[in-house]
């Protein structure tokens, strides 16, 4: 009889374990996000967050291209490539990077300082680069599993959108278009990723690898906010 620790979890149990990682580790619980949602950040802190998060946005299509380069399955690639278009833009769609640039302008930044990364914190750069490297070097299915943070993104985006509309009315409304778009894009992306992970992880080892990948992604998102929180809040106390 196989050892219990090597037994593959059912789809329901595996899904529950993946979701539990988000409930425990997703960055919506970070002190900086809590301050943001409570309307307790000043304009400078919002600008620092937007400028630094922009670096993450620019690297999303690059990490997705890395996943594509490692994926041997044509049908998966044909779906996954849409993520690159969602951020870089395509016919009839300006893309998420352009929407984030407009968010920067809406909070008082100019495009040049965002594009030249003049306000990028070292801790944020390190965390984001680690994510891209993870997706380049790890098995493609683990890289897919790391993207399952999108399971938790719609709730975060809804709270963020509400917080900006209620507490940060000085931000121009069209700057919030990125958040509105992700309310529908994130569930579509996460549904496909979760289905892939559930179908392809047919051993306890592969399931645990996917869970570790998701935890890694949660940790790096948290680390990004640690750097921003230190720069904007703790260093001013």
For the chain, what are the domain ranges?
10-236
15, 194 Cβ separation under 8 angstroms: yes
> What is d(CA 12, CA 19) in angstroms, rounded to the nearest whole number?
11
Both structure tokens of 161: 């959108």
The phi and psi torsions of 44 (rounded to 5 degrees) equal -65, -45
pLDDT digits (tens, 9 = 90+) for 35-56: 999 999 999 999 999 999 999 9
207, 135 Cβ separation under 8 angstroms: no
100, 57 Cβ separation under 8 angstroms: yes
CA separation, residue 132 to residues 59, 106, 200 (Å): 7, 28, 22
Both structure tokens of 10: 């059912």
Both structure tokens of 73: 């399955």
The reported pLDDT for the residue numbered 1 is: 42
Class of domain 10-236: mainly alpha
Q: What is the pTM of this model?
A: 0.94
* Those residues with Cβ within 8 angstroms of residue 47's Cβ, 6 or more apart along the chain or in another chain: 104, 107, 108, 109, 119
The reported pLDDT for the residue numbered 234 is: 80
> What is d(CA 135, CA 33) in angstroms, rounded to the nearest whole number?
26
Q: Which residues of the chain have pLDDT under 50?
A: 1-2
> What is d(CA 93, CA 201) in angstroms, rounded to the nearest whole number?
34
Enumerate the H helices of the chain as residue ranges: 11-25, 31-37, 43-70, 74-88, 96-106, 111-115, 122-137, 140-146, 153-167, 177-200, 204-232
90 three-class SS = strand
Compute the radius of gyration of the chain from its Cα atoms: 18
**Comparing C-alpha atoms, which of 193, 188, 183 is closest to residue 217?**
193
> What is d(CA 45, CA 232) in angstroms, rounded to the nearest whole number?
6
93 three-class SS = strand
């Amino acid at each position: 009889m196989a050892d219990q620790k090597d037994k593959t979890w059912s789809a329901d149990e595996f899904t529950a374990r993946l979701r539990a990682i988000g409930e425990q580790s997703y960055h919506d619980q970070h002190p900086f996000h809590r301050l943001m949602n409570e309307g307790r950040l000043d304009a400078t802190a919002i600008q620092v967050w937007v400028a630094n998060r922009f670096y993450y946005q620019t690297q999303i299509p690059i990490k997705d291209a890395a996943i594509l380069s490692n994926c041997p399955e044509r049908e998966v690639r044909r779906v996954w490539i849409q993520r690159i278009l969602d951020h870089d833009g395509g016919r009839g769609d300006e893309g998420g990077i352009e929407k984030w640039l407009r968010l920067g302008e809406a909070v008082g930044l100019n495009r040049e300082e965002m594009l030249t990364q003049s306000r990028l914190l070292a801790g944020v750069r390190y965390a984001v680069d680690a994510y891209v490297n993870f997706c380049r070097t790890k098995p493609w299915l683990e890289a897919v599993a790391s993207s399952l943070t999108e399971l938790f993104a719609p709730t975060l985006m809804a709270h963020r959108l509400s917080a900006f509309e209620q507490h940060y009315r000085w931000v121009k409304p069209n700057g919030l278009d990125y958040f509105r778009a992700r309310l529908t894009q994130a569930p579509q992306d996460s549904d496909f990723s979760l289905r892939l992970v559930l179908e392809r992880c047919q051993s306890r080892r592969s399931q645990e690898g996917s869970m570790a990948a998701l935890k890694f992604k949660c940790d790096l998102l948290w680390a990004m906010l640690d750097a921003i929180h230190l720069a904007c809040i703790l260093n001013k106390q």
